[in-house]
Amino acid sequence: MRELKAKATKATKPKPTDVVASSGNLSAPQFDFQSSTLVAADDPDDIKRVGDELEGLGLEFVSSFVGEVGNGNDIRFWVDIWVGGVRLCDLFPRLYHLDRSKEGRVAEKGKWVDNIWCWEWGWVRILRGRVCDDFEDLQALLQNVAIKVDCRDRWRWAFQENGDFTVKVLTKLVEEKTLNVASEDEATIWNKWVPKKVNIFVWRALQGRLPVREELDKRGIDLDTLLCPSCGDMVESCSHCLVMCNFAMSVWEKIYSWWKIGIVNAFSIEEFFTSNGNANIPSHSSRMWQAVIWTSGYFIWKERNERVFKGKASSLNKIVQDIQLKSFEWIVRRSGKKNEMNWQHWLYDPVRCRI
């Protein structure tokens, strides 16, 4: 059985004028790509949550970014996609297992010697047997890689032909994925008086596709607890989070009281979002009431995420005030009936508002 010690392979050092083709407005220093999540330096928890939700929609968001190596300081050698169109840890799992620095950057896998880039390896043992063939294949793959001294790594987004990442294109992809998943026989409800993000939230809630702890556990994600982050008494399901939790029900009671329509008589997501909370509302106010119901559900979910990801909890009155303000703002702006909506009526007798 032959043995092969780790050895350096060489690549010609480019001139300082060599550059990596720009990929637009997304560059490596702004983003750190984890093996399963995308983490932004300013708010890792929020980006992680967004990445999880996009994966749940069938959008392979993280793997849609392909690195273009420059100086190698930002691209992780094994777990980012940057050469060969696949993660090297997937292409060479035996080598990955033997590497001492599995999270190391490309730049940490070699050094410059007399203006020549030399790969250096740190295996936990001498390579033997079949893994030697893997190592030879890896070296062959790296022969055409040019490390550049004065050039930062770049990222290309596979969902755009020019490689540029834009929120506009991502939003379009999310809308298409979300709204086209429903069967042809199932009508998708839509309220134009609230933003698209609220409509999509309602659709996902009705489908049971919110990343609550019960659903994450079903996907095999290891969590410290499955209990609701708001009450801590029950497993967090979609229904519990938005309806049955004491916190959520307190919000609904305040909203019903604000509209002067009696006690809450709805106890499921379907009853709230498709039957307007089983409330007896005049026909001229039904669309406004639906916008309020959907806005309320959205703010309950938003508050839940604030508690989970930022450890911040708003008071019940603050949440209700935000619902009142934001629903008024959205309805006025999106209905185009600014002159027919009165803020005082909205606060104290919203049924009087007619648009």
pLDDT digits over 106-163, tens only? Answer: 999 999 999 899 999 999 999 998 899 999 999 999 988 989 988 999 888 888 878 8
Predicted local distance difference test score (pLDDT) of residue 56? 59
- Same domain assignment for residues 7 and 44: yes
Output DSSP code: residue 260: T
CA proximity to 37, closest of 5, 9, 65: 65
> Structure tokens of 78?
């094994």
- Same domain assignment for residues 279 and 342: yes
- Same domain assignment for residues 193 and 94: no
Question: Is the dihedral angle over the CA atoms 281, 285, 289, 292 positive or is it negative?
Answer: negative
* 169 lies in some domain: no
- Same domain assignment for residues 296 and 348: yes
* 18 lies in some domain: yes
Neighbour tally for 119: CB within 10 Å: 20
- Same domain assignment for residues 189 and 152: no
Q: Which amino acid is at 219?
A: R
* 170 lies in some domain: no
| Helix (H/G/I), strand (E/B), else coil: 237 | coil
Q: Are 189 and 202 in contact (CB under 8 A)?
A: yes
Predicted local distance difference test score (pLDDT) of residue 34? 34
Give the least confident one: 3-7, 26-30, 46-50, 284-288: 26-30
Q: What are phi and psi of 68, to 5 degrees?
A: -115, 110
Predicted local distance difference test score (pLDDT) of residue 324? 96
* 173 lies in some domain: no
Question: How many domains are contained in the chain?
Answer: 2
- Same domain assignment for residues 133 and 198: no
Average pLDDT over residues 41-64: 59
Task: From residue 314, give the alpha-carbon distance in Å to each of 19, 306, 311.
Answer: 49, 9, 10
> How far is it, in rounded angstroms, from Cα 337 to Cα 18?
58
Comparison of pLDDT for 301 and 16, the residue scoring more:
301
- Same domain assignment for residues 64 and 210: no
> Structure tokens of 189?
């409800």
- Same domain assignment for residues 153 and 204: no
Strand partners, 123: 99
Q: Are 263 and 273 in contact (CB under 8 A)?
A: no
* 174 lies in some domain: no
Give CA angle at 199 (198, 201), nearest 5°: 60
pLDDT of 45 over the 70 cut: no
Q: Strand ranges (DSSP E) for 125-183?
A: 127-128, 154-157
* 287 lies in some domain: yes
Predicted local distance difference test score (pLDDT) of residue 170? 78
- Same domain assignment for residues 141 and 219: no
- Same domain assignment for residues 80 and 210: no
pLDDT digits (tens, 9 = 90+) for 209-224: 899 999 888 888 888 8
Average pLDDT over residues 92-105: 94
* 14 lies in some domain: yes
- Same domain assignment for residues 136 and 9: yes
* 167 lies in some domain: no
Which residues, including other chains, have CB under 8 Å from residue 337's CB and lie 6 or more apart?
355
- Same domain assignment for residues 206 and 151: no
Instruction: Identify the helix (H) or strand (E) that includes residue 38.
Output: strand 38-40
Give the least confident one: 82-96, 154-168, 236-250, 286-300: 154-168
Average pLDDT over residues 2-30: 36
Structural domain boundaries, residue 343:
183-352
> How far is it, in rounded angstroms, from Cα 73 to Cα 29?
9
CA proximity to 244, closest of 273, 266, 275, 217: 266
